[in-house]
Chain A
Amino acid sequence: MASTAISLRRRDGAFTAIILFLPPALLLFTLFVVVPIVEAAWYSGFNWNGFGTPTRWVGWNNYIAVFNTRAFHLALRNNGLIILVSLLIQLPLALGLALVLAERFRGAVALRMLFFLPYVLAEIATGLIFSFVYDGDYGLLASIYRMFGAEAPHLLASPDTAMLAILIVVVWKYFGFHMMLFIAALQGMDRNLVEAARIDGASRGQVLRYIVIPLLYPTIRLSVFFAIVGSLQLFDLVMPLTRGGPADSSQTMVSFLYTHGVTRMRVGFGSAIGVILFVICATFAFTYKRWVMRDE
């Protein structure tokens, strides 16, 4: 009897909290997230240059046009590449560094800060810095090549290497963030488990393989989530470096949207790209949440 009363009161409390706290958040979310998405979906059915109200209904034509654009295929490929590199190079690198730097030794904190620093830099600033680094005439890379008596390549000017150059910057900029996530997780870990395993005679490798990594799984899943969503949104690094060029070879979905939609006053076409990107992101986020992160 008493317990039912308590749980009822609890439910009452929860209800009041919902009444009080949900509307502001819901309103803001609707206004700035739901409405723009619905608007974009609506615009994507028109051939419209952004002036006045859209009137030329074209149905699915914008989507067909997007799928027929070579730049779109390149953008998809590049987003895929970024995700691959994030998962196969950036994550192991971040994890490895975290395992070393989570230990207490002289200089550990300084090194952590050093590796975290690129993440703090603004994307545009990073892009500009690297456009100087990559400059084939005056850049840092050029001086390194010259030390060995070789002619430096213009990485950003060739369709074959521009994306590679961007991938390097992506890893450089974001590995520190993932490293910090892992360090935080490692420090929150129960040391007793590790010690117990050591006492039982487990080697360092075994401890890592059977205790530390499994305990890190939630963080790894989170890190993968961030890496993939971040890759899909990559834009502000690309613009100062290549603007998606040469010949669209380094477009990402968002830079494709900007250079082929916004700056060409093709609002319908751009909206179609936006909707496609939204569908990709939403599908990924929900399935990932549902299947991979369901325990959290």
Chain B
Amino acid sequence: MRVMKSVLLAAGLLAAGALSAAAQTTVKWLHIEVNPTQVKIWEEVARAYEAKNPGVKVEMSFLENEAYKAKAPTLLQSKDKPHIIFSWAGGVLQSQVEAGVIEDITDQVKGYADTLTPAAVEAFKINGRNYGIPVAMSQVGFMVNKELMAKAGVDYTKIKTWDDLLAAVKTIKAAGITPIVVGGADKWPLHFYWTHLAVRMGGSPAIAAAMAGKDGGFESDVYVKSAELYKQLVDLQPFQNGFLGFKNPQAVGAFGDGKAAMILAISSFYHTQKALSADKTGIPDDKLGWFDFPSVPGGKGEPTDTLGGINGWLITKGSPKEAVDFLKFFISKDVQTRLAAGNFIVPVAKGAEEGVSSPFMKNIVANLGKSKFHQNFYDQMLGPSVGRVINDASAEIAGGSMTPKQAAKAVNDAWKQGN
């Protein structure tokens, strides 16, 4: 009898389980974040959302950055595609939208989008429609090891112009210290030099003109001259030995280990230089400095203009509406404040920046606040193919196998040919 009862009970439970499973919606979320502390917070947010919304399950999965880029086209066209995917906006987003694999979420984010930084929201708009929600921004600039700078006798806060930087590099080198460490094998860390110089040289009109093919496109004076300035730096041999063989994580780790005075960094390296250093502590906050990318003689760009990333999340075509709902929950002031408090991100939800606690990140937030022109990473903005060409060309200038003119021509030819 008792056996019978327990069998019935088990059957009942099974049936109930099956029912609730049937009523459940699963939101599949694919990310590329490697920092376990940040992922842990995300997990907690997902669980909190599930608790508030019974019947919805948020399932996270991970792909490595380069693997994600290579796999995305196939993945987005498969039946088993994720609902929420990572994006750097720009040309890749454009081609995904044109292919019709991304959901138009304009109606669902009406009103909500006003709670976010307008420039960041704008980056995810194509033809006036919203195709994604931004989550964080970053700035490219020089991260500094204060101790090594002091040892070399350089006051890094006085580096304002390109010539100042060149002079500083010479002084640091003369003191027997590696001036700059860079992950040249990954190429994109090198393209920051050329493209940030272009931002200083030409400001916002230059890139628009180049993309429209005016003034010689990417072979215009702005790009050739910035490449020449970049070459001036390269000729001083400012980088560590064998820099073309270093991948970015190795280079950032080397900076964290105190092997070089500077690194041209994305502001998020604030965390990665710690995580990737040999002792996992990296350069402590009081020894870590920052200065904005120097200005150039005759440059038309404002000194407050910034180069950096605008990251966000996209919803793939045919996803359940809960996916957008979850994103709104994830990119809300509360959650963003929490991530900002860990100094992981420069948040995009208005008011969340007050959560940022470290002086280092506070400075970045202030810079981005002041910036009237924020240039998205060139290799993202120009699309998957041309973006790689500008990275290649930047690495070739650094390796001495291309002249600035040839590099500009390579980019322009690729741009004319299209993605």
Contacts and interface: CB of A to CB of B under 8 A. Distances in A.
Interface of A: 47, 49-52, 136-137, 153-159, 162, 242-243, 245-248, 258, 262-267
A265 B243 contact: no
B345 to A, nearest CB: 27
A51 B73 contact: yes
Given A52-B99, A246-B184, A157 B244 contact: yes
A263 B188 CA distance: 14
Interface stretch (B210-218, B227-235, B393-401): B393-401
Contacts of B118: none
Interface residues of B, number: 33
Contact of B245 (A47, A50, A242, A258): A242
B241 interface: yes
Contacts of B395: 245-247
A265 B95 contact: yes
Contacts of B241: 136-137, 154, 157
Tell me the interface secondary structure of chain A in the complex.
loop
B31 interface: no
A245 B247 CA distance: 11
Given A51-B99, A136-B245, 14 more contacts: A50-B73, A51-B96, A137-B241, A153-B242, A154-B244, A155-B245, A157-B184, A157-B242, A162-B245, A245-B187, A263-B388, A264-B385, A265-B419, A267-B73
A265 B99 contact: no
Contacts of A158: 242, 244-245
B357 interface: no
B69 A263 contact: yes
B69 to A, nearest CB: 6
Contacts of A265: 73, 92, 95, 384-385, 419
Interface string B23-63: 00000000000000000000000000000000000000000
B76 interface: yes
B77 interface: yes
A49 B242 CA distance: 34
B309 to A, nearest CB: 19
A211 to B, nearest CB: 49
A139 to B, nearest CB: 10
A157 B395 CA distance: 11
A245 B185 contact: yes
Interface string B315-344: 000000000000000000000000000000
B66 A263 contact: yes
B79 to A, nearest CB: 15
Nearest to A154: B242
Given A49-B419, A52-B100, A264 B184 contact: no
A76 B245 CA distance: 22
Contact of A247 (B77, B92, B95, B401): B401
Given A49-B419, A245-B244, A264 B185 contact: no
A263 B70 contact: yes
Interface string B58-102: 000000001001100110110000000000000010011011110
Nearest to A61: B417
Contacts of B66: 263
Contacts of B73: 49-51, 265, 267
Contact of A266 (B74, B76, B246, B385): B385
A258 B73 CA distance: 14
Contacts of B95: 49, 51, 265
A49 B384 contact: yes
Nearest to B76: A51
21 contacts: A49-B385, A49-B419, A50-B73, A51-B73, A51-B76, A51-B95, A51-B100, A52-B100, A137-B241, A153-B242, A154-B242, A157-B184, A157-B185, A242-B245, A248-B392, A263-B69, A263-B70, A264-B385, A265-B92, A266-B385, A267-B73
- Please indicate which of the listed interface residues B69, B96, B399 has the most CB atoms of chain A within 10 Å of its own CB: B399
A243 to B, nearest CB: 7
Contacts of A47: 418
Contacts of A51: 73, 76-77, 95-96, 98-101
Nearest to B417: A65
Contacts of B419: 49, 265
B401 A159 contact: yes
Nearest to A51: B99
Interface string B385-419: 10010001001100101000000000000000011
Contacts of A136: 241-242, 245
B275 to A, nearest CB: 19
A266 to B, nearest CB: 6
A264 B101 contact: no
Nearest to A153: B242
A159 B100 contact: no
Interface string B164-189: 00000000000000000000110100
A189 to B, nearest CB: 46
Contacts of B384: 49, 263-265
Contacts of B392: 247-248
Contacts of B77: 51-52
Nearest to B240: A137
B299 to A, nearest CB: 29
A265 B76 CA distance: 13
Contacts of B98: 51
Contacts of B96: 51
Contacts of B70: 258, 262-263
A156 B245 contact: yes
Contacts of B69: 263
Nearest to A56: B418
Contacts of A52: 77, 99-100
A246 B388 contact: no
Contacts of B187: 245
Interface string B238-274: 0001111110000000000000000000000000000
A262 B385 CA distance: 10
Given A51-B98, A263-B388, A264-B384, A243 B185 contact: yes
Contacts of A50: 73-74
